[in-house]
Amino acid sequence: MRSKHLSLSGLVIVTIVLAACSTGGEVTPSAAPTDPPTATASATATATPSSTPTVTPTPTSTATITPSPTPTLDPKTWEGVETNDEWTPVIREFDGVPMALVPPGSFIMGTTLEQHDYLVELIGYTPDGYLDERPAVRQDVEFPFWIDLTEVTNAQFADFLNENGNQQIDIEEIQFDNRWLGSDNGILVLNDNRWIVVEGYEDYPVVLVNWFAAQAFCVWRDARLPTELEWEYSGRGPDGLTYSWGNEFAHGGVTDVFLEPFAVGSSKEDISWVGVWDLSGNALEWVNSISAPYPYSSADGRELLSESNLATTRVIRSYGYHGGAQGGARLARRLDGSPWIHESLLGFRCARDFDEGDVQ
């Protein structure tokens, strides 16, 4: 696997307690980058399936959330925020799935020269794919939206498969295993015509699912895949943090990442400013966006879903449970892959548009 390209019901303000320790968010890019761009991104590589082995993880405990009800919604939900500290995480369950509310605001999307220099000092070299994070441009998130508190779990995906089956994708370009769930998952298994999860792995992120499966699951939940802008903003916020926990690498945030996945929400430090877990670590994540050069613009067609672009390479975010954490756990990091690939690193989470009825 190359660094850049994978071949592959009430409203509450919450206190997070660790037990183990379609189109919201439209953007308008600014007229110029905040620091002089030195290169534009390239997205011409083509993914091919890899032989990445299926990981057999060791069960870990999950995090719990202790809600504390609030009678009113923060006006910043509509007005937006200028710093991460202005926002207190707001969590609501939709059909039993907790989602975090993300307020409007602006942030620098991509990697600045200053952030690049820090990374080179930290790891001793420029990581592959860095140019795909350039130029760094301020983006405005105009509307609030919801995003899953954690990655979609094996148990949640089993419910989806039991209702819909492991469907095949009928697209001419697909020349490999074209089912939603890859055949060598090993943790989600079919038993007497019913999908079950191997005991102990119910709360682990589902992996070996292709982009079509991720999209279909989110639609099934009356949600959608997040755009890559929404995904990055949910982790970095107006402060433009390098990692979920801050700008300096904290090994504890991704301690368990190196060799295997872990139960969602069990990281000690990988919690973002809006209360979302595992954006810097755990599984890689599909997003809706077509892989295209920066600066990001939702108006250029990269977020449109149509018959003509379903087979187009899609962006992949997050870190994945493998080595090189200092560079890999950065929230600006971008990968991509053909939408039909199954990788033992690759899962997803869902998002949904905010509606005023959500607070009633």
User: Residue 76: what residue type?
Assistant: K
CB 343 within 8 A of CB 137: no
Q: Shortest CA distance to 275 belongs to which of 224, 317, 315, 237?
A: 237
Backbone angles phi, psi at 245, to 5 degrees: -95, -10
**What per-residue confidence (pLDDT) applies to 50?**
36
The pair of structure tokens assigned to 155 is: 């148990």
**What per-residue confidence (pLDDT) applies to 124?**
80
Judged by average pLDDT, the poorest of 124-128, 253-257, 268-272 is: 253-257
Number of helices (H), then strands (E), belonging to the chain: the values are 6, 14
- Indicate yes or no: pTM above 0.85: no
Quickly list H helices, 42-100. Answer: 76-79
Determine the 3-state secondary structure of 184 from DSSP.
coil
pLDDT digits (tens, 9 = 90+) for 303-318: 998 887 888 999 999 8
* Residue 34, number of CB atoms within 10 A of its CB: 16
Dihedral of alpha carbons 338, 342, 347, 351, sign: positive
What is the domain class of 11-359 according to CATH? Answer: alpha beta
Residue 17 has pLDDT above 60, yes or no: no
Residue 216 has pLDDT above 50, yes or no: yes
Sheet holding 314-317, edge to edge: 335-337, 314-317, 284-290, 346-348
Give the residue extent of every domain in the chain: 11-359
CB 299 within 8 A of CB 284: no
User: Residue 59: what residue type?
Assistant: P
Judged by average pLDDT, the poorest of 18-32, 104-118, 126-140 is: 18-32
Residue 215 has pLDDT above 60, yes or no: yes
**What per-residue confidence (pLDDT) applies to 47?**
37
Helix (H) or strand (E) holding 45: none
Angle between helices 154-164 and 211-220 (to 10 degrees): 80
pLDDT band (50, 70, 90) for residue 357: confident
